[in-house]
């Protein structure tokens, strides 16, 4: 082993030199916080017992090691909401990713042809993604407001009655999903459009000569041709949606009650709304990481078995 | 060439590491605060202290700035850096800043935050400093929220209590002669307004704090701090919630907007579209800016109607001046608080804004008596319910904020909603029953 390392070092000195800074920086930026997070999740650290230097007063750390207690509390404690929130997070993730992908694909196919003003459409369709999240969140909050929101105004004038979009459990959850879909579609559309343009036109010509219908062409050329792009954006989409904090936090704050809490927002409110509980926050962080790492492994394996190279 | 590149790469790494490695070691120097309020040496030495104020930036802040002007005239060598921080963010912001040693010297802390900040060691004890001048003069209830572990960590700047604010003209139009004094009268009056005056009779802000008068009025409470008991889901508390829900269901109160209830309530009340609201003195300046109260006499103020116990219960709120323990200008901070919280200056704020003084002597001053609102609140204060001064006090309202709207929307039955609050409390108050 040591001999191999030395040989590799002599042979690729320059490569090692280029890699080491990256490894060190990542170690500092990712590795250390990760280690610290794991460590904290086994303690009872909170705002009252961590080290602090306040003026002349220097207080050392006084938290202690509690083993797996945080994990047991979060997963199996008497009042835990972990499982119900995890279930909601899964529903949220699947519905967001499904619509991101299907709507994004539909728009990409529509735009992947010669039509007048194509670039204008593209810019307009990218807009939701380009606007800062907090701007779109507050805009949607106003649009969906119960008393003066434009949605209810229109529905009321059409005689369809008004709805409390953000005040009712189910509607609020549907609303945040819809907002997230609106924000996320452009990215999927652009990525898929790139994928579409990489599919050779000859394939379509050949299919047309063979008399394939547009539908057949889509299923047998377009869809398989997009496989690599799709695999990547679905993986990214799942991870991003699972951890999407801003929209839910800004639009409903997880409310009404806990009706729109997903794991990340719930962990935030459980750990940071009162006396900040660093240990519980770390525990949630590690649990979320475990869920996503597990998912990524399964996903890769599934792709491998269907012949993708990863 | 290669070695040189490699060297610069590793140098970059070193620099990066060095930059990350230097943890801000808080500078523990500075003025340790002189117990005797000793005068600074003569000369052009200017001390700057920062103050985070959480008052309403449009209506209240200008008057606080007026006081700062007066302070600077009196103490030319102290400069006050005034920053207005939105109330909702202030607690979090202060805690973050205090951990990082970048907190302001003086903070306006809500009564529910003071014990929490003190328990986190962020506050300087004020006993025996100029800031605690005339401490015997303070009303006992507002002062109580500043004590933690037997020490004094703040002085009450302003106190407040929820009351029934009403539009006299609308009630008259509906033939209601007197402000309602019980929940039953409140319902009758509100329905009368709705039927005869073409306005909503009542608007209940769906926030947890605004539910407290109903819970107290029915003989309930959130917790019992003496016995370390969680009492938010007792039959009394549930009864209180049911009274509030009944007002909404029966149409006596408008169906509140669960997402921006407070703003809708204020907008409607100011416009003369709502006859009665339950709100505190901080809202009075805002009310007077509306067309319904162009004539200030049109605003009536009465204690919150009594619940089934026959007693009216209204939570005591308010704000305190606290000093950051890591402040480098303790002496100047104490002098600032001493000045701002003098009886004259409290009376000035009472006259201008209708804020309730915390010094009993301030109520004797003509300025205070001249305000149309303050003397009316005085009677209500003495009966206000003081919330427990535990570090978790600031957290207790959050679960209530979450579940009260669900009870209103019908997603949860009253008992189930408060049971949920109780389970949330068990997470906050770990070893309570």
The residue among B139, B28, B213 whose CA lies nearest residue B378 is: B139
Cα dist. B156→A162, B57, B252, B261, B359 in Å? 45, 20, 37, 28, 9
CB A95 within 8 A of CB A177: yes
Higher pLDDT, residue B391 or B38: B391
d(CA B303, CA A169): 34
Quote the CA–CA distance of B265 and B247 in Å, as a whole number. 15
Query: Which residue, chain included where needed, has tokens 């970059």?
Result: B12
CA nearest to B265 within chain A: A147
Percent of chain B with pLDDT over 90: 50
Closest CA to B104 of B87, B71, B126, B81: B81
Nearest by CB to A14, from B6, B16, B426: name it. Answer: B6
Whether A162 and A146 have beta carbons less than 8 Å apart is answered as yes
Model pLDDT, residue A309? 56
Residue B325 has pLDDT above 70, yes or no: yes
pLDDT at B52 over 90: yes
> Distance, in angstroms, between A178 CA and closest chain B CA?
18
Among candidate residues B400, B346, B335, B407, the one with its CA nearest the CA of residue B371 = B346
Once rounded to an integer, what is the mean pLDDT over residues A107-119? 82
Band (pLDDT 50/70/90 cuts) for residue B238 is: very high
3-state secondary structure A138-156: HHHHHHCCCCCCHHHHHHH
pLDDT in tens, B53-90: 998 888 889 999 999 999 999 999 999 999 999 988 89
Nearest-Cα distance to chain B for A259, in Å, is 9
- Per-residue pLDDT, B18: 45
Contact list in B for residue A48 (CB cut-off 8 A) is 119-120, 391
Q: Which residue has the tokens 């850096």?
A: B81
Length of chain B: 433
Of A81-95, A119-133, A204-218, B10-24, the least confident: B10-24
Residue B48 to residues A193, B54, B106, B333, Cα–Cα distance (Å): 58, 19, 11, 9
DSSP code string of A81-119: -HHHHHHHHHHHHHHHHHHHHHHHHHHHHHHSS--TTHH
Which of B99, B120, B123 has the highest number of chain A CBs within 10 A, making it the mutation to test binding with A?
B120
pLDDT value, residue B419 = 93
Q: Where are the beta strands (DSSP E) in B198-326?
A: 200-203, 223-224, 229-230, 274-279, 299-303, 316-323
CA distances from A265 to A89, A273, B337, B433 (A): 10, 11, 38, 28
> Mean pLDDT for chain B?
85
d(CA A179, CA A185): 10
Instruction: Please state, in angstroms and rounded to a whole number, the distance separating the CA atoms of residues A182 and B57.
Output: 35
Instruction: Return all residues near A157 (Cβ < 8 A) that are at least 6 apart.
Output: none
Q: Is the pLDDT of residue B23 over 80?
A: no
Judged by CB atoms closer than 8 Å, whether chains meet at B264 and A270 is answered as no
Query: Region A208-228: what's the mean pLDDT?
Result: 86
Confidence of residue B40 (pLDDT cuts 50, 70, 90): very low
pLDDT of residue B44: 61
Report CA Rg, chain B. 25
Q: Reduce the DSSP state of residue A267 to 3 states and report it.
A: helix
Question: Using only C-alpha atoms, what is the Rg of chain A?
Answer: 25
Q: Is A241:A183 a contact under the CB 8 Å cutoff?
A: no
Q: Cα distance from B241 to chain A (closest Cα, Å)?
A: 16
For residue B374, the number of C-alpha atoms closer than 13 Å in the C-beta half-sphere is 27
∠ Cα B255 B260 B261 (to 5°): 40
- The two three-digit tokens of residue B120, written as one number: 């986190």
CA dist., res. A165 & res. B166, Å (int): 30
Q: Which residue has the higher pLDDT, A54 or B18?
A: A54
Q: For A214, left (φ over 0), alpha (ψ -120 to 50), or beta?
A: alpha
Task: Give CA A55 to chain center in angstroms.
Answer: 40
**Residue B28 pLDDT exceeds 50:** no
Determine the pLDDT at residue A306. 72
Is residue B123 within 8 A of residue B153, CB to CB? The reply is: yes
Counting one residue from chain A and one from chain B, the pairs whose CB atoms sit within 8 A come to 132
Q: Do B28 and A275 touch (CB under 8 A)?
A: no
Q: Which residue has the tokens 């006050």?
A: B80
- Given an 8 Å threshold on Cβ–Cβ distance, is B409 in contact with A14? no
Residue to substitute from B259, B324, B425, B429, interface A, most A β-carbons within 10 A: B259
pLDDT band at B24 (very low <50, low <70, confident <90, very high): very low
Q: Return the structure tokens found at B57.
A: 């930036």
Positive or negative, the Cα torsion across A86, A92, A95, A99? negative
**Given this model, what pLDDT does residue A123 score?**
82
Cα angle: B385, vertex B391, B393; to 5 degrees: 35
Regarding predicted confidence, which is higher, B41 or A15?
Answer: A15
CB neighbours of B366 closer than 8 A, spacing ≥ 6? B347
Q: Which of A25, A54, A151 to mutate to test the interface with B (most CBs of B within 10 A)?
A: A54
Q: What angle separates helix A227-242 from helix A82-111, to the nearest 10 degrees?
A: 140
- Which residues of chain B lie closer than 8 angstroms to A151, CB-CB? none
For the segment A246-296, what is each residue's pLDDT rounded down to a tens digit?
999 999 888 777 888 899 998 888 888 778 888 989 999 999 999 999 998
Helix, strand, coil distribution of chain B in percent, nearest 5: 50, 15, 35
Question: How far apart are alpha carbons B203 and B253 in whole angstroms?
Answer: 5
Nearest-neighbour CA in chain B from A99: distance (Å): 27
CA distances from B402 to A138, A169, A252, A264, A288 (A): 20, 11, 11, 18, 24
Burial (CB count within 10 angstroms: exposed 0-12, middle 13-18, buried 19+), residue A71: middle
Nearest-CB residue to A24 (from B2, B17, B423):
B17
pLDDT in tens, B366-425: 888 888 888 888 877 877 888 888 888 878 888 898 899 889 988 889 999 999 999 889
Helix residue ranges per DSSP H, A112-261: 118-130, 133-143, 150-157, 169-197, 201-209, 214-217, 223-225, 227-242, 246-251
Rounded mean pLDDT of B266-282?
Answer: 93
- Residue A55 and residue B326: Cβ atoms within 8 Å? yes
A47, A48, A257: residue with CB nearest B402: A257
Mean pLDDT of B155-163: 92
Spatial contact of B320 and B146, defined as CB atoms under 8 Å apart: yes
User: What 3-state DSSP class applies to B151?
Assistant: strand
Shortest Cα distance from B141 to chain A (angstroms)? 24
Separation in Å, CA of A129 to nearest CA in chain B: 25
| Mean pLDDT calculated for residue range B332-360 | 91
Contact A130, A137 (CB under 8 A): no
Q: What's the gap in Å between the CA of B343 and the closest CA on chain A?
A: 31
Percent of chain A's residues with pLDDT above 90: 27
Question: Quick check: bond before A256 cis, omega within 30?
Answer: yes
CB-based contacts of A43: which residues, under 8 Å, 6+ apart?
A63, A64, A65, A66, A279
**Chain A partners of B92 at a C-beta cutoff of 8 Å?**
272
The pLDDT of residue B12 is above 70: no
Question: What are the E-state strand segments in B15-97?
Answer: 47-53, 78-84
Q: What is the dihedral of CA A199, A203, A207, A209, to 10 degrees?
A: 140
Q: Looking at CA atoms only, how far is residue A81 from chain B in angstroms?
A: 10
Nearest CA in chain A to B423: A79
Residue B49 phi, psi (nearest 5): -115, 145
Residue B220's H or E segment, with its range, is none
**Which among A55, A141, A269 has CB closest to B327?**
A55
Half-sphere exposure of A204 toward its Cβ, with a 13 Å CA cutoff? 13
Residue A308 predicted with pLDDT over 70? no
Any idea which residue has 């073409």 for tokens?
B198
Question: Which among B98, B124, B402 has CB closest to A258?
Answer: B402
Name the residue among A14, A141, A259 with its Cβ closest to that of B2. Answer: A14
Helices (H) and strands (E) in chain A, counts: 16, 2
Q: Is the pLDDT of residue A187 over 50?
A: yes
What count of other Cβ atoms lies within 10 Å of the Cβ of residue B152? Answer: 19
Chain B interface disruption, residue of A163, A176, A257, most B CBs within 10 A? A257
pLDDT at residue B43 in the model: 53
Q: Can you tell me which residue has the tokens 């009252």?
A: A48
E strand or H helix at A266: helix A263-272
**Number of Cα atoms under 13 Å in the Cβ half of residue B213:** 27
Burial class (CB in 10 A: 0-12, 13-18, 19+), B310: exposed
- Is the distance from CB of B189 to CB of B170 less than 8 angstroms? no
- Chain B residue with minimal CA distance to A167? B258
DSSP secondary structure letter of residue A27 = I
Residue B259: which of A18, A55, A166 has the nearest Cβ? A166
Query: Could you give the maximum distance between any two Cα atoms of chain B, in Å?
Result: 95
Residue A257: closest C-alpha in chain B:
B402
**Residue B102: φ, ψ to 5°:** -120, 20
């Amino acid at each position: 082993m040591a001999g191999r390392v030395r040989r590799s070092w002599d042979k690729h000195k320059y490569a090692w030199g280029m890699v080491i800074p990256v490894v060190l920086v990542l170690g500092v930026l990712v590795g250390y916080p990760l280690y610290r997070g794991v460590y904290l999740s086994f303690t009872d650290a909170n705002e009252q017992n961590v080290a602090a230097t306040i003026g002349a007063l220097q207080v050392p750390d006084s938290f202690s090691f509690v083993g797996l207690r945080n994990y047991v509390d979060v997963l199996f404690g008497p009042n835990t909401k972990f499982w119900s929130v995890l279930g909601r997070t899964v529903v949220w993730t699947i519905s967001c990713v499904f619509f991101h992908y299907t709507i994004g694909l539909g728009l990409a196919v529509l735009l992947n042809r010669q039509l007048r003003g194509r670039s204008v459409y593209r810019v307009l369709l990218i807009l939701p993604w380009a606007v800062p999240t907090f701007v779109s969140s507050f805009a949607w909050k106003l649009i969906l407001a119960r008393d003066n929101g434009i949605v209810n105004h229109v529905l009321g004038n059409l005689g369809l009655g008004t709805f409390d979009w953000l005040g009712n459990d189910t509607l609020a959850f549907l609303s945040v999903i819809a907002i997230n879909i609106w924000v996320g579609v452009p990215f999927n559309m652009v990525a898929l459009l790139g994928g579409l343009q990489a599919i050779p036109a000859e394939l379509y010509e050949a299919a047309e000569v063979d008399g394939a219908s547009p539908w057949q062409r889509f299923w047998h050329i377009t869809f398989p041709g997009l496989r690599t792009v799709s695999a990547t954006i679905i993986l990214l989409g799942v991870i991003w949606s699972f951890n999407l904090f801003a929209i839910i936090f800004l639009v409903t704050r997880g409310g009404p009650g806990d009706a729109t809490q997903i794991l990340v927002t719930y962990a935030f409110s459980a750990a940071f709304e009162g006396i900040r509980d660093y240990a519980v926050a770390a525990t949630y962080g590690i649990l979320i990481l475990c869920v996503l790492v597990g998912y990524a492994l399964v996903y890769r394996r599934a792709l491998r078995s269907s012949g993708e190279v990863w | 060439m290669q070695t040189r590149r490699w060297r610069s790469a590793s140098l970059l790494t070193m620099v990066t590491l060095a930059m990350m490695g230097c943890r801000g070691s808080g500078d523990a120097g500075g003025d340790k605060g002189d117990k005797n309020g000793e005068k600074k040496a003569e000369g052009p030495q200017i001390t700057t202290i920062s103050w985070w104020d959480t008052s309403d930036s449009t209506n209240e802040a200008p008057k606080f700035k007026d006081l700062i002007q007066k302070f600077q005239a009196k103490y030319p060598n102290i400069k006050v850096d005034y920053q207005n921080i939105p109330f909702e963010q202030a607690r979090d912001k202060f805690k973050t800043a205090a951990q990082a040693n970048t907190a302001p010297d003086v903070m306006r802390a809500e009564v529910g935050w003071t014990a929490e900040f003190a328990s986190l060691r962020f506050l300087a004890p004020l006993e025996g400093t100029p800031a605690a001048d005339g401490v015997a003069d303070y009303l006992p209830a507002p002062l109580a929220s500043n004590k933690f572990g037997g020490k004094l960590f703040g002085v009450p700047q302003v106190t407040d209590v929820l009351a029934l604010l009403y539009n006299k003209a609308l009630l008259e139009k509906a033939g209601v002669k007197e402000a309602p004094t019980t929940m039953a009268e409140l319902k009758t009056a509100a329905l009368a307004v709705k039927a005869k005056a073409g306005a909503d009779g009542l608007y209940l802000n769906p926030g947890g704090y605004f539910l407290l008068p109903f819970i107290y009025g029915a003989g309930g409470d959130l917790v019992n701090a003496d016995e370390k008991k969680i009492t938010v889901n007792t039959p009394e508390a549930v009864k209180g919630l049911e009274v509030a829900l009944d007002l909404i269901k029966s149409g006596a109160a408008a169906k509140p907007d669960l997402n921006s209830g407070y703003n809708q309530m204020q907008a409607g009340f100011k416009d003369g579209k709502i006859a009665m609201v339950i709100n505190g003195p901080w809202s009075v300046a805002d009310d007077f800016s509306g067309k319904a109260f162009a004539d200030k006499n049109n605003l009536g103020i009465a204690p919150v109607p009594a619940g089934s116990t026959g007693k009216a219960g209204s939570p005591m709120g308010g704000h305190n001046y606290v000093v950051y323990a890591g402040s480098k200008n303790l002496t100047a901070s104490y002098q600032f608080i001493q000045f701002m919280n003098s009886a004259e200056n409290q009376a000035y704020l009472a006259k201008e804004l209708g804020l309730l003084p915390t010094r009993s002597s301030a109520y004797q001053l003509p300025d205070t008596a001249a305000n149309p609102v303050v003397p009316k609140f005085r009677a209500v204060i003495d009966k206000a319910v003081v919330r427990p001064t535990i570090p978790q006090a600031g957290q207790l309202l959050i679960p209530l904020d979450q579940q009260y709207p669900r009870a209103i929307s019908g997603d949860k039955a009253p008992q189930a909603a408060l049971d949920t609050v109780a389970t949330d409390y068990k997470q906050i108050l770990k070893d309570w029953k």
